[in-house]
A and B are shown apart, each in its own frame.
Chain A
Amino acid sequence: MAKIRRNEKKEMPALNTSSLPDIIFMLLFFFMTVTSMKEVSYKVRFTVPQATELTKMEKKSLVRYIYVGTPTEEFRKQYGAETRIQLDDAFAEVSEIENYIVNERSAMQESDQGQMTVSIKADSNTRMGVIADIKQALRRAYALKINYAATQRTSY
């Protein structure tokens, strides 16, 4: 019968972790390629509507965003649960949109100014009254190229 040696101390062989950096780097590159930098931190919560005829927005630097939705939990007390507009990092009124767009446009290069696109990221439950106000403001600011942000519809 084999002798069972119990008292002898056995050391665990060291795990070879030399390929760990490679694996992590691979993950890193994967995430770097499939994601894009976050534009702002959202102060409003929204789920964009669904559609099928989508076009991808080219030239991210020429796109400005208008977020429309209900304030997130932490801003509920201050701003209530009504639909609000967010420009860049702050809440805004409809009357401020025109100024914002004009300022943003004049900060761009002159050759790019005509290419500016405004993307409206609005919650699918928003009432059209708000959207119509925004559209009128954009028209006054001569930002006529717009884009209604939406996600691909998978089923009806």
Chain B
Amino acid sequence: MAGGKKKVPALNASSMADISFLLLIFFLVTTSMDVSQGLARRLPAPIPPDQKIEDTDINKRNLFVVKINSMNQLLVQGQEMNVRQLKEKAKEFIQNPNDDPNLPKVFTEDFGEPFGMVAYTPDHVISVQNDVDTQYQAYLDVQNELVAAYNELREECAQKYCHKSFNELDEETQKVIQKIYPQKISEAEPKNYGGSK
């Protein structure tokens, strides 16, 4: 080889832009921007067909009834209410801070460190009943407010005893708090108004 440095010829990169444009457009077309998020819920297990629906006897004081009619109006514990007031009402019901005899029975139990003795209402049940013509948005609003009530209570509990946000706690402590405030939202079995099924 001759001693002189050989120059490498410049690569022709003018088509690079076209190629990357093509890729860009491909991804723009095939992807969607929306992230999937939503309100996570759990359905109750199905009732075997041979089993009769039993009316479980729940003490009236332990029951919080939310009814939504076909006009998307709310009836909470027998009184009309706006969705925005529902969360506070639900929180008061779940906690029963003043040991009101009309609100669920308060038990005190030792939950270990760092909780100690905590007053809670293990027997409370929130019942949501809706009409066939209720709007989906109205139904979800109610579900949302009830879940928000639980989330706020858990957050408050985490701040009070652990001085941390609920999400920052380790799994075990979260489980204990979930035991103090168990999500008990029951939905009425839809009634069958005629029809073959």
> Which residues of A are interface residues toward B (Cβ below 8 A)?
17-18, 20-21, 24-25, 27-28, 31-32, 34-39, 48-57, 60, 63, 95, 117, 119, 122-129, 131-133, 135-136, 138-140, 142-152, 156
Contacts and interface: CB of A to CB of B under 8 A. Distances in A.
Contacts of B36: 36, 56-57, 60, 63, 119, 149
B2 interface: no
Given A51-B143, A53-B151, A148-B140, 20 more contacts: A17-B17, A28-B23, A31-B27, A31-B28, A31-B31, A32-B27, A35-B32, A49-B136, A49-B140, A54-B38, A56-B37, A119-B38, A127-B134, A128-B131, A128-B135, A142-B46, A144-B42, A144-B43, A147-B41, A150-B140
A24 B132 contact: no
B43 A135 contact: yes
Interface of B: 13-14, 16-17, 19-21, 23-24, 27-28, 30-46, 84, 130-137, 139-141, 143-144, 147-148, 151, 190, 197
A66 B86 CA distance: 29
Nearest to B28: A31
27 contacts: A17-B14, A18-B13, A21-B20, A31-B27, A35-B31, A35-B33, A38-B31, A49-B136, A50-B137, A54-B39, A57-B37, A57-B38, A119-B38, A124-B140, A125-B137, A128-B133, A129-B132, A136-B190, A139-B43, A139-B46, A140-B46, A144-B45, A145-B42, A147-B40, A147-B41, A149-B37, A151-B34
Contacts, number: 154
6 shortest interchain CB distances as A-B pairs: A35-B31, A129-B132, A124-B137, A21-B16, A24-B20, A149-B38
Contacts of A152: 37
Q: From A18, A38, A127, A128, name the one whose CB has the most chain B CB atoms within 10 angstroms.
A: A128
A148 B38 contact: yes
B57 to A, nearest CB: 23
A49 B42 CA distance: 19
A52 B14 CA distance: 49
